[in-house]
Structure 1
Amino acid sequence: MRSFRDFASGVGFFLQGFGWVARNGRWWLFGLIPALIAFAVYVVALIFLGTNAGDLAAFLTPFADSWSWRELFRTLVGVALFLGGLALAVLTFTALTLAIGEPFYERLSAAADVLETEDDQPWWRTLPRSIRDSLITLCWVLLFTVPLFFLGFVPVVGQTVVPVLGALISGFFLTVELTTLALERRGMARKQRFALLRANKASALGFGVAVFALFLVPFVAIVAMPAAVAGAALLVRTRLASAP
């Protein structure tokens, strides 16, 4: 029961992020800039993948050349490749947007989570570390999601269990990315941040799954990104910073 309450409170922090940017409209507009840039990059990449999925599927399945149903098989592979690319785009959108918008979101996070003392460093010094941490997080994501991708082809399991597990895993790592700014301002290294979020898993999952679900809707990711950053700062300030 407590886990459910913590999960619900995690969702609530995301909603609080929307409330914060609604009251501070200039920060919402400020946070849209890097999200728009990242979105444009992904649109171009997905259009390229969609128009070349058939050729890529044929390249990856030379063993099917003699099959009578090779066209149907390669169509399914092409669809799977595009859906996999779309899922990867959702998973990496936050990391890329935060990397592009490091100075933007650092200021937005600091405005939502005002500290008396903080580990304040110029963004150009923290950017290489942030990119490295994001790449490590991406490796962890792929470690979980690649097996789930193949399990998605298993009847019944692929249509029921896999989407739920995928949303939970993706949600947790989205929370990892989004809370990085607020936790780094408290001087916490990557291993410390992971340990803290694992110790507060239900809240982290509630927040991240809510973000993940909205980010699946086209264009909503752009609008919701500033709210996600603000909500993550509020989650850290109210729940994580006071955790034992």
Structure 2
Amino acid sequence: MLMDFFRGITYVPQGFQLLTAQGLRRFVLLPIAINVLVFAGLLWWGAEWFHTLLLWLLPPAIPSEHSGMLGQLLTFLEGTIRWLLWPLFLLAAVVVMFYTFTALANLIGAPFNSLLSARVEQHATGQSPPQAPEGKAFLAESVEAIMDELRKIAYFALLGIPLLILFIIPVVQVVAPFLWGLFGAWIIALEYGDYPLGNRGIPFREQRRITHQHRLLHLGFGAGVLCLTIIPFVNLVAMPTAVIGATLLQADLRSRTTQAT
């Protein structure tokens, strides 16, 4: 039903509302803080590298080499070019950060997302998932979560290659952006649904079956999260919002299944 698509979208604002709930804040703020520090470090390193590159490409004019009008002209041109290149560097850095923030956030936040999902389920239903990760096993869970995240990235990239090819095929390329958007929403639903389902020991193949069984619901949720990731600054909280929303979605599906039986 089409209403399932719109109902799926509603889990995004529901997730957003729980970001500051008691018992969840540390799992929300810690990965965001780590991510911001990583990007700040990369930006600082990039600025230092760019400054060194400018000094190599545009070495300061030596006064003894040029004098008079020529020296003044060279100094003016050098300053003007530097003044133009720095804003371009900052713009490029912002664009790169904009498109890579979500991917890096997922990788860095992977060890925390299972814990966040478990706490959300306990908050929403009063019960923890059977295989909720414990603090003492956090290191082992972290390594496993990161490796699983890398495997999913490789899997999703492999699925996306045929869709990318559509962009260069005449006529078909007209619908390629629409198909790519659907693919993105589907992948997001699988990506974040893995945390609540993985906490229950459900393998990835079974996760895909569950997602496909309620595909419009999950597509709506994925589309809502996708919209969140393309909004500057708001995308800082896209990952925890999606984890919380996906957990609420799966909890509702289990509740509906239980009531039906």
TM class by shorter chain equals 0.5 to 0.7
Please state whether the residue corresponding to 2:187 is helix, strand or coil. Answer: helix
Letter in 2 for 1:125: A
Shift of 1:7: 1.0
Between the aligned residues of both structures, percent identity stands at: 25
Count of residues in correspondence between the two structures: 212
- Name the structure 2 match of 1:237: 251
The two structures, once aligned, show a CA RMSD in angstroms of 3.8
- Name the structure 2 match of 1:10: 8
Give the direction of change, closer, same or farther, for the CA distance of 1:21–1:84 in structure 2 (3 Å limit).
Answer: closer
Which of 161, 166, 170 is residue 180 of structure 2 equivalent to? Answer: 166
Which structure has the bigger radius of gyration? 2
**1:209-240 deviation per Cα after TM superposition (whole angstroms, max 9, x unaligned):** 11111111222121333322211111010025
- Name the structure 1 match of 2:199: 185
Distance 2:28 2:128 in 1: 24
Letter in 1 for 2:157: L
- Residue 96 in structure 1 maps to residue 107 in structure 2: yes
Q: Structure 2: which 5+ residue stretches go unaligned? A: 51-93
Of 147-156 and 191-200, more deviation after overlay is shown by 147-156
- Residue 139 in structure 1 maps to residue 154 in structure 2: yes
Give the direction of change, closer, same or farther, for the CA distance of 1:116–1:28 in structure 2 (3 Å limit).
Answer: closer
Letter in 1 for 2:127: L
Distance 1:155 1:31 in 2: 44
Whether the 8 Å CA contact 2:4–2:217 is kept in 1: the answer is yes
Letter in 2 for 1:124: L
Whether the 8 Å CA contact 1:99–1:127 is kept in 2: the answer is yes
Shift of 1:154: 5.6
- Name the structure 1 match of 2:141: 126
Give the direction of change, closer, same or farther, for the CA distance of 1:100–1:185 in structure 2 (3 Å limit).
Answer: closer
Q: Structure 1: which 5+ residue stretches go unaligned? A: 53-81
TM-score (norm 2): 0.64
TM-score (norm 1): 0.68
Which of 234, 240, 250 is residue 220 of structure 1 equivalent to? Answer: 234
Please state whether the residue corresponding to 1:21 is helix, strand or coil. Answer: coil
- Name the structure 2 match of 1:58: none
